[in-house]
Amino acid sequence: MSNTISEHDTDVLADDTTSAAIDIDREKGNFHYKEDYAYDAGIGLSPEVIDYVTKVKGEPEWVREFRHKALKIFESKPLPTHWATRDLETINFDEIRYYLAKGQKPSRTWEEVPDDVKETFERLGIPEQERRFLAGVEAQFDSESAYSRMKEELTKQGVIFVNPTEGLKEHADVFRKYFGKVIPAGDNKFAALNSAVFSGGSFIYVPKGVKVAQPLQAYFRINAENFGQFERTLIIADEGAEVTYMEGCTAPKFETATLHSAVVELVALKGAKIQYITVQNWSNNVFNLVTKRGVAEEGAEIRWIDCNIGSRLTMKYPGVVLKGQHSRGEVISIALASDGQHQDTGAKMIHAASNTTSNIVSKSISVGQGRATYRGQVTIPKAFSHCKNNTECDALLINTNSRTDTYPAITVRGANNSTQHEASVSKVSAEQIFYMQQRGLSEGEAMSLAVNGFINDLVKEFPMEYSVELKRLIELEMEGSVG
């Protein structure tokens, strides 16, 4: 008498679990509501579009000029395809909608948020997160913020957490002093585009010596098709201040490409600390072309903790300009590139004073035909001494057709500066998978355990709530990757 555990049976089992798993994951953000916008700048980009945006937002003349100048720069700069992927050429800038808003002012209470927007963010878990562990939340729906609230005690301490439109009107002195200074419009083509049409994002100012214990969070949501989201964030931590900012993002899957091009500027004054955490989970039709940079003054510290799981193409190289002595910059980066995705990420560390330290740790995972690219730039000029950089980049390839590229550019001059660079490429071996399967784990479970092990030391850098979510997302991605 013999029963048989047939191959067929186990296959069916694995497929069911796999598809059930994927459903939860990628579908989480894959829904959208009827488009019903009071303000729509129409399709395509022109000086008229900019005038429209400026007028709708009621901006002062200097902002209008800034935008027009930026548009000219955008038009004059070619796509950076001499080093970047030619996939950029598939973006049709004439078919994108640059500004869509319901004409809402950001609501200060959850009840005031329009029902469909509220439902969107409730599905994504925003109100629970706010109650659980956040000091403040800003939720952006297409071009404008729909909900913005911060704990009262922080307002009393003088912390500002608003959208940039409000920032440039209500807090003009401090806003104008730093806006566009860390990343000028001419920095690159996409920074110019953002400067021309920016809308939404956050403006944060933390006064001298104020340490914001809980994170502030922004949530970015694209709802409309053929849309470009261009949020602009400026965070200033005054002397000795400390703040952690987190951003998360989702969009539904549309047939056509969607563009997300943000600019994020950080200013850490003497002895300040800024930590900026991103979990990017855009749907696979989004071009995510983002410029992020911070300036660290004397003794200040800026950390970028960056995780890219979604999007079709991400190009993002968070940077720190180490402007003051004893300042410290760090980029911790995780990228997961699945089929049809290209994660082109990295870091920039510009040492602009002596006794500065920078650290880059990048780990990427390429699954199926996914492609992960690391680009790093570290500059330590001759004029400075006792500067240190450490760069580690590790790549993990899952399938034989997965791809990874590494382009480190390290320039260190001067006698008393040091840099250390380590890179590795590894593969999850068939023997490792067999070993884990022999313990009872399915192939997908084995793969996700191996991947989670690979990034385990970096995941610890994310706040608890995020690292759990991150592990889950990766598990789901991996379970879907083995067939």
Partner 1 sequence: MSNTLDIRNLNVSVAERQILKNFSLTVPKGEVHALMGPNGTGKSTLAKALSGHEDYAVISGEALLDGENIIGAEPDAIARAGLFMAFQYPSEIPGVTIANFIRAALVARQPKGAPFDAKAYYARLYEKMDALKMDRKFTSRSVNEGFSGGEKKRCEILQMMMLEPKYAIMDETDSGLDIDALRIVADGVNKMRGPDIGILVITHYQRLLDYIVPDKVHVMYDGKIVRSGDKDLALELEKKGYDWVKEEVAIA
Q: Taking contact as CB under 8 A, which single stretch among the options 11-19, 143-151, 181-189, 217-225 is the one that binds partner 1?
A: 11-19
Q: Which is nearer to partner 1, 20 or 383 (CB)?
A: 20
Q: Taking contact as CB under 8 A, which single stretch among the options 5-13, 95-103, 200-208, 227-235 is the one that binds partner 1?
A: 5-13
164: closest CA among 60, 288, 42, 26? 60
Q: Is 18 helix (H, G, I), strand (E, B) or coil?
A: helix
400 makes contact with partner 1 (CB under 8 A): no
Q: Taking contact as CB under 8 A, which single stretch among the options 75-83, 154-162, 287-295, 423-431 is the one that binds partner 1?
A: 423-431
From 339, 442, 465, 467, residue interacting with partner 1 (rule: CB under 8 A): 442
Q: How many angstroms separate the CA atoms of 354 and 388, rounded?
A: 9
449 makes contact with partner 1 (CB under 8 A): yes
439 makes contact with partner 1 (CB under 8 A): yes
437 Rama sector, left if φ>0, alpha if ψ -120 to 50, beta otherwise:
alpha
Tokens 């911790």 -> residue? 332
422 makes contact with partner 1 (CB under 8 A): no
Task: Specify the pairing of strand 216-221 against strand 319-322.
Answer: unpaired
Q: Scanning residues 153 to 212, which ones bind partner 1 (CB under 8 A)?
A: none
445 makes contact with partner 1 (CB under 8 A): yes
Tokens 């200040």 -> residue? 300
1 makes contact with partner 1 (CB under 8 A): yes
Residue type, 433: I
Applying CB under 8 A, the site for partner 1 has a residue count of 35
Tokens 């038009």 -> residue? 75
Q: What is each CA distance from 32 to 96, 97, 224, 225, 479, in whole angstroms?
A: 18, 17, 8, 10, 26
248: closest CA among 129, 413, 358? 129
CB of 29 to partner 1, least distance (A): 23
81 makes contact with partner 1 (CB under 8 A): no
CB of 428 to partner 1, least distance (A): 9
Q: How many angstroms separate the CA atoms of 476 and 473, rounded?
A: 5
Reported residue count of the chain is 483
Which residues contact residue 241 at a Cβ distance below 8 angstroms, ignoring those fewer than 6 apart? 206, 207, 208, 209, 210, 211, 212, 269, 272, 273
Q: Which is nearer to partner 1, 173 or 431 (CB)?
A: 431
447 makes contact with partner 1 (CB under 8 A): no
CB of 125 to partner 1, least distance (A): 19
CB of 397 to partner 1, least distance (A): 14
> If you ran DSSP here, which 8-state letter would residue 228 be given?
E
388: closest CA among 368, 364, 413, 359? 359
- Alpha helix positions (H), 439-463: 443-459
Q: Scanning residues 13 to 42, which ones bind partner 1 (CB under 8 A)?
A: 14, 17
From 10, 19, 46, 81, residue interacting with partner 1 (rule: CB under 8 A): 10
CB of 426 to partner 1, least distance (A): 8
Q: Taking contact as CB under 8 A, which single stretch among the options 115-123, 249-257, 289-297, 428-436 is the one that binds partner 1?
A: 428-436
User: Which chain residues interact with partner 1 by CB under 8 A?
Assistant: 1-7, 10-11, 14, 17, 429-432, 434-443, 445-446, 449-450, 452-457
